[in-house]
Amino acid sequence: MSIVEDLDRQLATTYSRRTTASRALYERAQRVLPGGDTRTGTFYLPYPTFMDRGEGSELVDVDGNRYIDFLGNFTSLIHGHAEPRIAAAIAEQARRGTVMGYPTEAQVALAELLVERVPSVERLRFCNSGTEAVMNAIRGARAYTGRRMIVKIEGGYNGAYDAAQVSVTPGFHAPPYPSGIAEGPGVSPGIVSEVLVTPFNDLETLRWILERYGRDVAAVLVEPMVSYAGMLRADEGYLQGVVDAAHAVGALAIFDEIVTFRVGYGGLQGLEGVAPDLTTFAKVIGGGLPVGAFGGREEVMAIFDPRRAGGVSHSGTFNGNNATMAAGLEAMRMWTPMAIARLDQLGERLRQGLQRELDAREVLGHVQGMGSLSHVHYCAGPVRSYRDALRSPRHCARLMHLGLLTRGFLWASRGMTALNTAITEAEVDALCGAFGEVLDLGRDVFPRVGSTEPAMADA
Ligand SMILES: Cc1ncc(COP(=O)(O)O)c(C=O)c1O
């Protein structure tokens, strides 16, 4: 047995001992849900932890174990679990009707709040998920430009829509740019052929792609910090360069701010002072309920105006439902510049604390991110692109996740964390301590500073 398998087995045994009720539910779940789960991205081995309830910064599982939640439903809970004011807003709305099937003032109020915060967004529409937001933004860009292709970033996750399910995790066998590959079977090959793939932080390749295919390109879709591939931060000038390159060929720039909106009062675009044509939102703007929104320049968004002959159809039974709007409004009103500044500090404390634990043990690793969002890579940093991130061996992230889980700390199995306003400095410090403990436990597994970087075969 290899040292990795040995540690894996050791951690899995501890995990299984602590989570017998989760295991029983997992076995029951497999009889009705394929794989015993209903969300690919959150699944992990030996089996996922089944949760009972959330309270502020904590989750409690069905065995009664308590965890400090450094994930917040994959970045969507900016104020932690069951925040009393948000819960009260939802309860009040439940009494008055969760969805009317007609427009309501709550939709206008949340739209006004977002338009006020994000200058590039003059008009917006609501939907029910980030996936739908990206789908509608792409459709709108196609309709507005009369073109069919989009350019997306290699390693970027922009939701489950077919056009976004291209080259998210192509591994080391990715075709040469700008070709992309379907993220698994079932994604329409016709749609894949209309998606061009480009590396993040590489304007030269983007310009080259646009020179060759520009007249068919409706939009360049980019997440201003690529969260899924490991919080890849944009080089100075890159985001403006993307917008300029798109405009030079008559295409639109779409920023996916579904995760990154939380880094600033007006999202990451506000901090960078860059204005895309369209922006997609989800997660935090729903206050913990399902949500999506897409918006941008008035002239572009007019394509969705139902009075317009030949406009784009955008429907959805629960678009702008009152429960989501009430929760979102409450959450966003509490997401003040002061709250953002506090989480920025807490995020810095976390990144520095984790990096200190790595450095103290001479473990090869780099913690990067921005504001409340961070990611640990087990390779030298900064990590600037998807292919760069492949240097971090996946088993390190997996073992760290399991090690933290057994110590009462939750983050994504790929090594991502998202802070929320319920988390304290002491909880951040406790996480750093637990991180160090797992590094000690896996002393022979985590790469050492000065060692040859892991072979790419690991991906
Ligand atoms: C950057 C980004 N875009 C889009 C999506 C899709 O959002 P949803 O899960 O609400 O469909 C996600 C979800 O994680 C995301 O991280």
pLDDT at 458 over 70: no
The question of whether 157 is a catalytic residue gets the answer yes
Backbone φ, ψ for residue 68 (5° rounding): -85, 125
Query: Going from the N-terminus, what domains does the chain have, and what CATH number goes with each?
Result: 3-78+336-458 (3.90.1150.10), 84-334 (3.40.640.10)
The secondary structure of the chain in percent helix, strand, coil, rounded to multiples of 5, reads: 45, 15, 40
Q: Which of 256, 277, 378, 388 is catalytic?
A: 256
- Give the pLDDT confidence score for residue 227 in this predicted structure: 98
- The answer to whether 178 and 259 are in contact (CB under 8 A) is no
Taking the C-alpha atoms of residue 331 and residue 347, their distance in angstroms, rounded to an integer, is 19
Q: Which of 38, 158, 169, 280 has most ligand 1 atoms within 8 Å of CB, for mutation?
A: 158
- Give the pLDDT confidence score for residue 450 in this predicted structure: 87
Taking the C-alpha atoms of residue 352 and residue 131, their distance in angstroms, rounded to an integer, is 33
Query: For residue 316, what is the DSSP state?
Result: -
Helix (H) or strand (E) holding 73: helix 72-75
Q: Is the CB of 130 under 6 A from ligand 1?
A: yes
For the stretch 102-112, pLDDT in tens is 999 999 999 99
Q: How far is the CA of 156 from the centre of ligand 1 (A)?
A: 10
For the stretch 179-221, pLDDT in tens is 999 999 999 999 999 999 999 999 999 999 999 999 999 999 9
User: Which is the closest atom of ligand 1 to the Cα of 130?
Assistant: 7
- Give the pLDDT confidence score for residue 459 in this predicted structure: 39
For the stretch 268-306, pLDDT in tens is 999 999 999 999 999 999 999 999 999 999 999 999 999
pLDDT at 456 over 70: no
The encoded tokens of residue 206 equal: 């983007």
Q: What is the CA radius of gyration of the chain?
A: 22
Residue with tokens 């922009």: 158
Question: What is the SS3 assignment for 310?
Answer: coil
- Give the pLDDT confidence score for residue 135 in this predicted structure: 98
* Residue 67 confidence class, pLDDT cut points 50, 70, 90: very high
Nearest to 288 by CA among 90, 65, 123, 67: 90
Q: Is the CB of 421 under 6 A from ligand 1?
A: no
What's the Cα-to-Cα distance from 373 to each of 259, 261, 343, 444, rounded to whole Å?
9, 11, 9, 28
Q: Which of 8, 47, 228, 283 is catalytic?
A: 283
- Give the pLDDT confidence score for residue 455 in this predicted structure: 47
Nearest to 216 by CA among 142, 161, 300: 142
Taking the C-alpha atoms of residue 179 and residue 194, their distance in angstroms, rounded to an integer, is 9
Helix 394-405 and helix 3-18, axial crossing angle in degrees, nearest 10: 30
What's the Cα-to-Cα distance from 50 to each of 69, 150, 168, 397, 415, rounded to whole Å?
14, 38, 27, 21, 20
- The answer to whether 209 and 198 are in contact (CB under 8 A) is yes
- Give the pLDDT confidence score for residue 453 in this predicted structure: 66
User: Which is the closest atom of ligand 1 to the Cα of 41?
Assistant: 14
The encoded tokens of residue 317 equal: 């039974």
Taking the C-alpha atoms of residue 91 and residue 109, their distance in angstroms, rounded to an integer, is 19
pLDDT at 175 over 70: yes
Mean pLDDT of 349-372: 98
H helix runs in 199-250, sequence order: 203-213, 238-248
- The answer to whether 332 and 325 are in contact (CB under 8 A) is no
The secondary structure of 332-344 as a DSSP string is HHH--HHHHHHHH
Q: Which of 259, 278, 279, 373 has most ligand 1 atoms within 8 Å of CB, for mutation?
A: 259
